[in-house]
Amino acid sequence: MIQAVVQIHLKHGVADPEGATTAKALRELGFGEVRSVSFIKTYRIELECDDPDLARERVDKMCRMLLANPVIQEYEIKIGNNVDTPD
Amino acid sequence: MIQAVVQIHLKHGVADPEGATTAKALRELGFGEVRSVSFIKTYRIELECDDPDLARERVDKMCRMLLANPVIQEYEIKIGNNVDTPD
Looking at the partner chain, which of B1, B7, B33 has a beta carbon nearest the beta carbon of A85?
B7
Residue B20 covered by a domain: no
Each of the 87 residues of chain A gets a pLDDT tens digit; together they read: 999 999 999 999 999 999 999 999 999 999 999 999 999 999 999 999 999 999 999 999 999 999 999 999 999 999 986 554 444
Condensed to tens digits (0 to 9), the pLDDT of residues B42-84 reads 999 999 999 999 999 999 999 999 999 999 999 999 998 655 4
Show the domain range for B63: 2-13+40-80
pLDDT of residue A57: 97
Q: What is the CATH number of the domain that holds A66?
A: 3.30.1280.10
Complex ipTM: 0.83
Asked whether B62 and A46 are in contact (CB, 8 A), the reply is no
Residue A72 covered by a domain: yes
Pair type for strands A34-47 and B34-47: antiparallel
Residue B72 covered by a domain: yes
Angle made by CA atoms A47, A51, A56, in degrees to the nearest 5? 65
Q: Hey, are the CB atoms on A35 and B1 less than 8 Å from each other?
A: yes
Chain A to chain B, count of Cβ pairs less than 8 Å apart? 106
**Host H or E run for residue A22:** helix A17-28
Tell me the residues of B at the A interface, defined by beta carbons under 8 Å apart.
1, 7, 19, 22-23, 25-26, 29, 31-49, 58, 61-62, 65-67, 76, 85-87
Total of domains in chain A: 1
Q: Hey, are the CB atoms on B43 and A19 less than 8 Å from each other?
A: yes
pLDDT of residue B85: 45
